[in-house]
A and B are shown apart, each in its own frame.
Chain A
Amino acid sequence: MVNEERLSHMIKIARFDTYDDKTCKPMAQYARRDYVSLQMLKSFITGSLVYALIFGMWCLYYMQSLMEELNNINLQESAMTLGISYAVWIVVYEAVTYIIYQLRYTRGRRKIKSYYASLKKVNQMYEREEKLKIPEEKAWDS
């Protein structure tokens, strides 16, 4: 006979496995700090790419004037401006990443917690059923 209580927990487990497992898996594997750090590292790479793309477009846009002023450009000053703007951009981008993934981690951990609670309950039910089975078998054996 189907155990309805166990079934409801198993449905919860299967739902998590189907829909949330992929997104929540890293949250179960990593501690909060490590998870957010990993995302910030990814953001550092994507943020740098974004900056490079925008800088590339800026160069193409001002190509003509850049070519004309090439000999008069103060390289040290330009490098400084570039460095500062890059640093500001990365700090902002990383801050946004930090906030978003902190919130996601909190939400994901909550789901994982309820997933493990369901697993625990199903396990307990199995154990109880096993215990109930043993005396019956013994009685039958004797």
Chain B
Amino acid sequence: MTSLLELREKLIRFYGKNEVLIKPIIKFIVSFAIFFTINKYIGYMSRISKISVVLILSLISAVMPAGIMIFLAAAVILANLFALSLEVCIVALVLFLLIFLLYFRFAPKSEYDMCLMPLCFQMGIPQVMPLAMGLVRGVYSVFSIICGTVLYFFLQGVYQNAATLGAASEVGEDTASKIVVLINQLLGNKEMYLVLGIFFVTVLIVYLIRRMSIENAWTIAIISGTLFEAIGLTAGYILMEIQGKIILTLIGSGISCLIAFLLQFLFFNLDYSRTERLQFEDDEYYYYVKAVPKAIVSKTEKKVKRFTGKEEHLTKKQFAEELDIDEELLD
């Protein structure tokens, strides 16, 4: 366990020292995954569905604030949907505007949470997000889960009905019918409601247990959350007679549980305060302050005591010297 704590310590120090480099790299990887997934599944516009475009957009997102990444991702989705059908693009635009007006107005700093949700769905481990949000964020993160889930099911619906939605249409009835198909597949999706309900409750369960003043609160929270998700989703799929999802759900829950334990290892009882760089001046000096977060556990001082046969036969004199006492006291 101590070696694990030391490893964690090293990771924190490494992150603290190289935060300037690590942060853009992580942002680049996440952005690349997002743009790549978008183009892989709904890349209807061939001009922007090239890997070079994905790389350029990921590089821009890596060095710019998270809001820019969200804006670019939304623009790429809208452009692709526009190439598919104008009606789909309009519905997507309305959906994005609703998310922006309802959610980002109150929580402007949680852009990545919402983007990671569809990505996790695509990777087959959506269960990890409610667990992670409950562990490292507050109750408000429920809304990012809801927005991300709705966005995923919307895009999945577009992907599945691409042939119908992309068919050439005459202005008038066909336009309205496409919108009806699109809204129907979203609002009539029972699986979406099931997932939303289960994830909503999971975030609350994990958050409330994690905040309790009990021993191993984080571990109990993870296990409870995972069990609730696995059982809830499995039962829901059986009741709704949705085939072929149960095994994937159970595997996804298992992987999510492992990732949640990894998060516990990395974040439990730790403040990942960033390295801060501040500049200011007074009458006499210019100050360039680099505040590096303090490490918590120092390197273990290894003490190895050997009890060999040789040492068992200490002479009285040696023993007295070792204890730093008078030899006569041992008589």
A residues within 8 Å of B by Cβ? 2, 6-7, 10-11, 13-15, 17-18, 42-43, 46, 49-50, 53-54, 56-57, 60-61, 63-64, 96-97, 100
Contacts and interface: CB of A to CB of B under 8 A. Distances in A.
Contact of B285 (A2, A14, A46): A2
A65 B299 CA distance: 73
Contacts of B307: none
Contact of B278 (A18, A49, A54, A61): A18
B64 interface: no
Contacts of B287: 7, 10, 14
Contact of A10 (B102, B105, B280, B291): B280
A42 B106 CA distance: 11
5 contacts: A6-B282, A10-B280, A53-B94, A53-B97, A60-B176
Given A11-B278, A46-B101, A57-B183, A64 B94 contact: no
Interface in B92-124: 94, 97-98, 101-102, 105-106
Contacts of B280: 10, 13-14, 17
Which of B180, B279, B282, B285 lies at the interface centre, i.e. has the most chain A CB atoms within 10 A of its CB?
A: B282
Interface in B177-214: 179-180, 183
B102 A50 contact: yes
Contact of B179 (A18, A49, A61): A61
Contacts of B285: 2
Contacts of B282: 6, 10
B135 to A, nearest CB: 22
B173 A14 contact: no
B102 A14 contact: no
A56 B95 CA distance: 12
A15 B91 contact: no
Contact of B101 (A2, A49, A96): A49
Contacts of A13: 280
Contacts of B105: 42-43, 46
Interface in B257-292: 276, 278-280, 282, 285, 287, 289, 291
A62 to B, nearest CB: 9
B177 to A, nearest CB: 8
A42 B97 CA distance: 15
Interface string B241-269: 00000000000000000000000000000
B94 to A, nearest CB: 5
Contacts of B94: 53, 56-57
Given A43-B105, A57-B183, 6 more contacts: A15-B276, A53-B97, A53-B98, A56-B94, A57-B179, A60-B179
Nearest to A93: B102
Nearest to A58: B183
Most buried by B among A14, A50, A96: A14
A66 B41 CA distance: 35
A11 B289 contact: yes
A57 B182 CA distance: 11
A2 B289 CA distance: 13
B173 A11 contact: no
